[in-house]
Amino acid sequence: MDPKETLVLLAALLWMMISSETSQATHLPGCQDNCGGVSIPYPFGTSEGCYFNEYFQITCNTTVTPPIPYLRSSKIEVLNISLYGHMRILTSVGADCYSKSGARESTTGSFGVLQAFPFSNTRNKLFGIGCNTIAYIRGVDIRGQIYVTGCVSWCSNISSVTNGSCNGIGCCQIPIPENLLNYTATVGSVSNDTEIWESNPCGFSFLAEEDSFNFTIANLTNIKNTTRLPSSINWAIGNQTCEEAKKNLTGYACKANSYCYDSSNGRGYLCNCSAGYMGNPYLRCQDVDECEDPNLNKCLKKCQNTIGNYTCSCPKGYHGDGRKDGQGCSADQLLDVMIVVGVGTSVIVLVAVSGLLYFGHKKRKLIKLKEKYFQQNGGLMLQKRLAGREEPTSAAKIYTAEELEKATNNFDESNIIGRGGYGIVYKGIFADNTVAAIKKSRTIDNSQIEQFINEVVVLSQINHRNVVKLLGCCLETEVPLLVYECVSNGTLSSYIHDRNKAATFSWETRLRIAAETAGVLSYLHSAASMPIIHRDVKSNNILLDENHTAKVSDFGSSRLVPLDQAQISTMVQGTLGYLDPEYLLTSQLTEKSDVYSFGVVLVELLTGKRPVSFDGPEEERSLAMHFLSALKEDRLFQILEDCIAKEGNAEQVDKVARLGKTCLRVKGEERPTMKEVAMELERLRMLGKHPWTNVESNYEETEYLQVLGIKFSVRCSYRAEEDDLTFSCLD
């Protein structure tokens, strides 16, 4: 071969290699493409001119072997960068350890502000590890709002812990919110049990990728030596939406043959190659040769690649689209009139028969689908649990899916009036102008189906004017639905924790709401056909109507107690700040657990403070403990809500506070029953309405009371002492 021809051929081959490498490259030419084995695709880069802006700078520390990449100038170590808006990093672990001498060593797992890059709420979770551990997380989102939550991890001994199970026994986990920019993970203790500290002296709290962390028993001791764990953050371009960015052509990051879409977590947008193209959309998307890829090529015979797509054709003598997933190829042939007539007639008959079969099949399919949803939504479980009932279930309407969709405008977001742990509540207006609250479960989950069925069974047992009434349900949809009466004046919590509303919330109204709520719980414990423990009594579950009448709601966690059982063993469930400490330690659920939670609500009504607060001193974090301490030190009127202290009902307020103290006793057997609490609150209300009535500290008389919505005659002997309440009643 001629030397000149050889040089031309080599130059052409070299140009093809360079072009191929450029088209496949994920970084700008001349820029570093990896650090320590971690690929660095554009818009990220290690030096000026190699990254989109300063948020995408990667610092490669070459003083160690292998080199370590860090995000910008921080010490945030990068493990992986995905062009789909994810980045894996390392975050620290918070620990709280005790020695046998009682010495305490604590560290916090914290993370600095990432500005444009929030933590992924779909990939990360907060984990707590230990046998005596409360794991807290406090963070700030992109709007500057503070977020605080936590979970409890408890085990009486390490032998009760199961590998791979993070359900609250040795390990607990909770999701995090969207747009979280920074956080601090801290650890606290549930109790001062030295035996637990000796067997498991440490507790841990940290944020980590759910798929990357698999809990084992060894984590109870060896995670202390692990200073950092993998987490995931989301990244996006700029602060504009996709539509806004496309109008600014000079700053638009998506290159030719690509499109943009909005980030699902935080501000900004991302880019992706259009169909038929592949590569880095922030640099170049190149055409894919579908004909060379058997997974993309759907042609039967001949395939021809085109820009962004491909076409199929049939060989000579055949016609059709030539596709495996289309018409295919059919041989060309002459058809005579008879064949045409025969085929035409056959087609007409086939269409008619097919139509009949189709509509019949569609109807059967719809019936089967409704049966499937009925079983999936717990219909059989509901029938089984109601089969043993001695009394019939109170009348409740079975709604169709079409009725509920029409009432809520196809479940439009503008009709959402509440969100709970297990579902969303919509406001619905039916054809007869009935206004209702419709509760829709979030997802199809066996645990949530059980909560749903449990709420139907429990509410079917209850007939009380201070309980949110169940109007009906719908089981023929993909997720189960409950229909309640609509109580649209908000929750008790929204009134007592809002300064403007609390100032107009009189002591008489607060005492009446407390008496009505106590009446409901007394009814559940002692007047229902089978005793019911609510299990999640809190001010957020007490709704108020337009007259500020209390309506107790949310019976998804409630439990029916057989008449021959005083207590039942369950996995601990409830809300932090309201949980009965005895129930938390023993897992033995009794009616006295509701008494403790009601005591916390009573203290909320008196003080206007939240059950748990992380903003004040440590001794004031638990409202119950702070309240008992104030009573002991005779400082009750220093912690009362201002409007209560000014109303001049000092004696009545003091007696209610003493009643709250008895409800908050650590031992359940020393607490009064809800029937006794309800009677005492009614007595104090009557005394407030008729102050001329002479009520001695020791008296015995016959009273007619209207408690729990039932009128009855009761003869009571009541004794009030400084720190105690004693009741003796004969029906």
Model confidence over 5-27: pLDDT tens digits? 544 344 444 434 433 444 457 88
Same domain, 421 and 501: no
- Mean pLDDT across the stretch 427-435? 91
Using CA atoms, how far apart are residues 283 and 26, in angstroms rounded to an integer?
A: 7
Residue 457 lies in a domain: yes
Using CA atoms, how far apart are residues 229 and 287, in angstroms rounded to an integer?
A: 39
In eight-state DSSP terms, residue 19 is: H
Residue 425 lies in a domain: yes
Using CA atoms, how far apart are residues 237 and 239, in angstroms rounded to an integer?
A: 7
Spatial contact of 394 and 463, defined as CB atoms under 8 Å apart: yes
Using CA atoms, how far apart are residues 723 and 505, in angstroms rounded to an integer?
A: 28
Residue 246 lies in a domain: no
Q: Pick the catalytic residue: 141, 262, 293, 536?
A: 536
Decide which of 25 and 334 is more confident. Answer: 25
Residue 544 lies in a domain: yes
Spatial contact of 79 and 38, defined as CB atoms under 8 Å apart: yes
Most confident region among 15-24, 104-113, 554-563, 701-710 by mean pLDDT:
554-563
Residue 358: Cβ-neighbour burial (10 angstroms; 0-12, 13-18, 19+):
exposed
Residue 336 lies in a domain: no
Using CA atoms, how far apart are residues 311 and 323, in angstroms rounded to an integer?
A: 9
Same domain, 467 and 515: no
Using CA atoms, how far apart are residues 219 and 172, in angstroms rounded to an integer?
A: 13
Spatial contact of 619 and 629, defined as CB atoms under 8 Å apart: yes
Residue 595: give its domain's CATH number. Answer: 1.10.510.10
Residue 279 lies in a domain: no
- Mean pLDDT across the stretch 387-391? 53
Give the model's pLDDT for residue 8.
Answer: 37
Torsion sign (Cα): 566, 569, 572, 574 = negative
Spatial contact of 179 and 266, defined as CB atoms under 8 Å apart: yes
Q: How many other C-beta atoms can be found within 10 angstroms of the C-beta atom of residue 299? A: 20
Same domain, 138 and 176: yes
Residue 231 pLDDT > 90: yes
Decide which of 167 and 3 is more confident. Answer: 167
Most confident region among 272-276, 332-336, 516-520 by mean pLDDT:
516-520
Residue 289 pLDDT > 70: yes
Using CA atoms, how far apart are residues 452 and 557, in angstroms rounded to an integer?
A: 9
Query: Phi/psi of residue 693, each to 5°?
Result: -65, 130
Last residue of a domain, one of 440, 462, 485: 485
Give the model's pLDDT for residue 401.
Answer: 84
Same domain, 558 and 665: yes
Here the tokens at position 320 are 């059709």
Give the model's pLDDT for residue 228.
Answer: 84
Most confident region among 19-28, 482-491, 722-731 by mean pLDDT:
482-491
Residue 346 pLDDT > 90: no
Query: Phi/psi of residue 287, each to 5°?
Result: -65, 140
- Out of 1-5, 129-133, 532-536, 608-612, least confident range: 1-5
Residue 143 lies in a domain: yes
pLDDT grade for 655, boundaries at 50, 70 and 90: very high
**Domain interval for residue 448:** 379-485
Tell me if residue 554 is catalytic.
no
Here the tokens at position 11 are 């130059």
Decide which of 109 and 729 is more confident. Answer: 109
Same domain, 504 and 481: no
Most confident region among 378-392, 645-659, 689-703 by mean pLDDT:
645-659
- Three-class SS of residue 181? strand
Using CA atoms, how far apart are residues 517 and 663, in angstroms rounded to an integer?
A: 14
Using CA atoms, how far apart are residues 457 and 536, in angstroms rounded to an integer?
A: 17
Residue 403: give its domain's CATH number. Answer: 3.30.200.20
Give the model's pLDDT for residue 492.
Answer: 93
Give the model's pLDDT for residue 593.
Answer: 93
Helix (H) or strand (E) holding 71: strand 68-71
Same domain, 523 and 460: no
Spatial contact of 440 and 424, defined as CB atoms under 8 Å apart: yes
Using CA atoms, how far apart are residues 481 and 471, in angstroms rounded to an integer?
A: 11
Same domain, 513 and 632: yes
- Out of 146-160, 265-279, 281-295, 408-422, least confident range: 408-422
Residue 658 lies in a domain: yes
pLDDT grade for 709, boundaries at 50, 70 and 90: very low
Looking from the CA of 289 toward its CB, the CA atoms found within 13 Å total: 3
Q: How many other C-beta atoms can be found within 10 angstroms of the C-beta atom of residue 558? A: 22
Same domain, 464 and 554: no
Each residue's pLDDT tens digit, 359-373: 877 777 777 776 777
Helix (H) or strand (E) holding 95: strand 86-98
Last residue of a domain, one of 464, 485, 506: 485
Residue 162: give its domain's CATH number. Answer: 2.60.120
Peptide bond into 315 cis (omega under 30): no
Give the model's pLDDT for residue 447.
Answer: 61
- Out of 145-159, 320-334, 347-361, 488-502, least confident range: 320-334
Residue 701 pLDDT > 50: no
Residue 251 pLDDT > 80: yes
Binding residues: 440
Using CA atoms, how far apart are residues 258 and 273, in angstroms rounded to an integer?
A: 4
Same domain, 543 and 676: yes
Closest CA to 45 of 61, 23, 28: 28
Same domain, 160 and 193: yes
Here the tokens at position 454 are 């449990």
Averaged pLDDT of the chain: 81
Domain count, the chain: 4
Using CA atoms, how far apart are residues 310 and 261, in angstroms rounded to an integer?
A: 26
Residue 496 pLDDT > 60: yes
- Mean pLDDT across the stretch 313-336? 77
- Mean pLDDT across the stretch 319-335? 77
Decide which of 121 and 21 is more confident. Answer: 121
In eight-state DSSP terms, residue 579 is: S
Spatial contact of 253 and 237, defined as CB atoms under 8 Å apart: yes
Give the model's pLDDT for residue 697.
Answer: 38
Last residue of a domain, one of 187, 211, 234: 234
Here the tokens at position 46 are 């290690």
Here the tokens at position 575 are 């809300």
Q: Locate all alpha helices (DSSP H) within 312-336, ordered by sequence.
A: none
This prediction's pTM: 0.47
Same domain, 322 and 394: no
Give the model's pLDDT for residue 383.
Answer: 67
- Mean pLDDT across the stretch 67-78? 91
Spatial contact of 407 and 481, defined as CB atoms under 8 Å apart: no
Helix (H) or strand (E) holding 271: strand 269-273
Same domain, 451 and 561: no
Using CA atoms, how far apart are residues 556 and 167, in angstroms rounded to an integer?
A: 19
Using CA atoms, how far apart are residues 42 and 50, in angstroms rounded to an integer?
A: 7
Torsion of Cα atoms, 702 then 706 then 712 then 714, to 10° = -30
Using CA atoms, how far apart are residues 675 and 520, in angstroms rounded to an integer?
A: 10
Q: How many other C-beta atoms can be found within 10 angstroms of the C-beta atom of residue 216? A: 15
pLDDT grade for 4, boundaries at 50, 70 and 90: very low
